[in-house]
Chains A and B, each alone.
Chain A
Amino acid sequence: MKLLTKTNLYIIFFNILLFITGGVIFYYIFRTYIYRQIDNDMLVEMQLVRDEIIRTDTLPDLAGKSQGIIHVALLEAPVRPEQVFRDTILKTPGGEEVAYRYLKLYGNRPNRTGYFIGILHSLEEQKDFLQAVTLYISFLIITLLIFVILLNYFISRKLWSPFYRTLKTLREFDLTSTQKPLLEINSITEFRQLNQTLDEMLDKMILDYNNVKDFINYASHEIRTPLAIINSKIEILMQARNLTENQMKMLIQIQESASRLSRINQGLLIISKIDNYEYSEKREISFSKIIDEYIERIEDILEGKSISITRKYSGEPVVQMHPALAEMLVINLLSNAIKHNIDNGTINITLSQTYMEIVNTGISLSAPPEKMFEKFRKESVHNESLGLGLSIVRKIVDFYRFSIRYTCSDGHHRIVVNFSPSSA
């Protein structure tokens, strides 16, 4: 839910609550006030009539004595004095129901016989008035509510606009790009603080990222020379004729570990260099040529494993890439298809203007397909596989904004590199 919607909902809810309570209270106060007015009028009329009864001890002339209906009775016996107000409904001759306020008074004359005075005032006029007032108040409340909502909407939108701008800037920010986003300096303290804090965090993030990048780059380069020394010393040592078989084996083990180290190092270096935009050069690439050359180079290995390769080129992908990266992409995917293949297996390569597809037979994976492109992932069956090959593929694919999809079914592994995912 959006921030503005949420605030509006709160405002609508509490305003309605407030207006309803206020309206109800107002209605009752108003009603009480009107009743008191009517009651007072009736009391005044009643007092006049009562005074006359007590003074004259006869039924007074009632004409012009009341705005409503008045009737008086003289009683034979004394009564218990009582004054009562109540609401009542009378039927007109036409059968219409009319609301009345009714005042009843019982009292005793000086000669100790009782009298009764009843006064009825119609409430219709007041009811109409109350209705009109209620309608008016409701109208006022609704207008006010709409006004408050609109006002809140525009104020909020204006107030939060720096926040939305910051949000937009941050969402568009890409850590691997060299451009640091510019956050505005706002006059509102909170937003200024937010942007300042974010700015500091961004600085730190970019610094850390660059440090890690530089570190990997530096370390990978610096590791090479000692590795070269280790390798060369092993090779020299191997030439000694008086080594026992056991010593020779140990030397081989050292050398194998050293070359594994150097392959890991090489992989990391490539990844860091892609991150560092060191492969920015772009050229027309002939994928079919890269594939053909590589297959020619390893033909005997394919023969030895009895893997048959079918190539179907219906077109050449129209892409501009760094030649080294294009080669790495193809070789990594193909050597992967060979490494994880089975004896008498197959590899089918399809190349078109928009995609490259490699389908190979192989044992099923133990890991979910989406994990395949993670760094250092390796299937335990092949202990020698480096695990960086596919993450280099992923890096290259991301770098050129291609897309890659991996699926596996019935012992067939299928990798599709789409060179123009946006148009597909």
Chain B
Amino acid sequence: MKILVIEDERELALSIAEYLKKEDQVCEVAGNFKKATEKMDEVLFDCFIIDIGLPDGNGLDLIPRIKEIDSNAGILILTARDALSDKITSLESGADDYLTKPFHLSELAARIKAIYRRRNLGGNTVIRHNEIEVFVQNRIVNVNGNPLTLTKKEYDLLVYFLSNKEKVLTRESIVEHLWGDEVIMADTFDFLYTHIKNLRKKIMEKGGSDYIKTVYGVGYRFTEQ
């Protein structure tokens, strides 16, 4: 997957690129409208992360150009504003999703991967992780070929982990992903712990490995092996 990050705040763009970069994932950075169009002409990208407020233009104006080159490219809009009109115009002009600053990189990664799956593979994808298979379209999970019965929250949790493999995920970012940011309170972390415990147990019952590692006092990490 090739991703182009179009964001004028260099430090933020670099963080995004560093977080998303992996062996099979290329992530490039463009600091303004002009650079972005130049890069788009050179390389074919699968996904674009676009900041609306660019120094030399509105990020949304890039969308028609992107669609012209590859109508199947995924687009995620970043903005420092969260006016509903912004959200609507972004989605109407062809963007797939919308994130308001500040955001968690893990959330961004989960969203961009969901867009990619939806766009390039028609949503009919299977996320494979060793013995675990997730059929995204009908929300079915198999471990060693045996179906796993998961609650909605457990399923969301698993997909979130699979989108952020080998990354330390803070409890806060997971809670926000699962419940939204309005319910954060002292004991929410206990509920998260319960869900994680159950997910771990269910995977291991079907003969799967224990991939979820606790990072003490911080959160969790989903390991490759």
Contacts and interface: CB of A to CB of B under 8 A. Distances in A.
A228 B185 contact: no
Contact of B179 (A231, A248, A298, A305): A298
B168 interface: yes
A222 B81 CA distance: 9
Contacts of A248: 215-218
B185 A382 contact: yes
Interface string B1-42: 000000001011001101100000000000000000000000
A262 B80 CA distance: 12
A323 B184 CA distance: 22
Given A230-B102, A238-B170, A301-B179, A278 B83 contact: yes
Interface residues of A, number: 49
A382 B188 CA distance: 13
A6 interface: no
Interface string A317-345: 00000111000000110010011000000
Contacts of A256: 172
B110 to A, nearest CB: 13
Contact of B180 (A297, A323, A383): A297
A401 to B, nearest CB: 21
Contact of A225 (B12, B151, B215): B12
Contact of B9 (A225, A259, A323, A324): A225
Interface in B147-194: 151, 153, 167-168, 170, 172-173, 179-188, 190-191, 194
A255 B168 CA distance: 13
A204 interface: no
B43 interface: no
B5 to A, nearest CB: 11
Nearest to A230: B102
A83 to B, nearest CB: 110
A263 B181 contact: yes
Which of A301, A339, A385 has the most B CB atoms < 10 Å from its CB? A301
Contacts of B187: 304-305
Given A225-B80, A301-B183, A235 B102 contact: no
A246 to B, nearest CB: 10
Contacts of A412: none
A172 interface: no
Interface string A220-252: 011011011111110110110000010011011
B119 interface: no
Which of A252, A278, A281, A383 has the most B CB atoms < 10 Å from its CB? A252
Rank and list the top 9 A-B pairs by shortest CB-CB distance, nearest first.
A232-B15, A228-B102, A228-B101, A227-B102, A224-B80, A224-B101, A235-B105, A238-B168, A231-B102
19 contacts: A222-B80, A224-B101, A225-B101, A229-B15, A232-B19, A235-B15, A236-B19, A236-B105, A239-B167, A245-B216, A251-B218, A252-B170, A297-B179, A298-B179, A300-B195, A332-B182, A338-B183, A338-B185, A384-B186
